[in-house]
Amino acid sequence: MEKQIRVLVANSPRLMREMILATFAEQPDIEVVGEVTDENEIASTVQRTQPDFLVISQEQMGRRPSVCDVVLHQHPEVRIIALAPEQNYSVHYWISQQIHCRDVEASEAGILQVLRGRTRALGSQV
């Protein structure tokens, strides 16, 4: 059996939250680990339940909900799906790390420059 997808639902209004919960209840690979009705309890509930996904309300199109910053700062492994209750609009938020590299001079000076944050590129950035 595949790993269950753990989801915390913190979406409002209540009717929309209930529709989301009903949809997830029909999915055998999704486990709802909790339901939050008070936005002030989202961060602590994420800490306690350790979900893979958090479903929240997207109050304003084009503007990331502030709870995203709080949750993703504390739990960068969590992915957030924000649904707009009054529009046909949803957004997926997550944190990813980027790996950068740059050729540096293969010498004592080159290595010391890297350590001191004063690198000079020898070639193009990859």
Q: Tokens 């979900």 identify what position?
A: 51
**Same domain assignment for residues 28 and 76:** yes
Q: Extract the runs of DSSP E, i.e. beta strands, from 1-122.
A: 5-10, 30-35, 53-57, 79-83, 90-93
**Same domain assignment for residues 28 and 53:** yes
**Same domain assignment for residues 25 and 56:** yes
**Same domain assignment for residues 86 and 117:** no
115: left (phi over 0), alpha (psi -120 to 50) or beta: alpha
What is the count of structural domains for the chain?
2
Domain that holds residue 105: 98-126
**Same domain assignment for residues 73 and 106:** no
Residue type, 74: Q
**Same domain assignment for residues 22 and 69:** yes
**Same domain assignment for residues 59 and 112:** no
**Same domain assignment for residues 79 and 122:** no
Name the percent of the chain lying above pLDDT 90. 52
> CA-CA distance, 3 to 116, in Å (whole number)?
44
| pLDDT at position 27 over 60 | yes
Residue 105 binned pLDDT confidence (cut-offs 50, 70, 90): confident
- The per-residue pLDDT of the chain, averaged, comes to 85
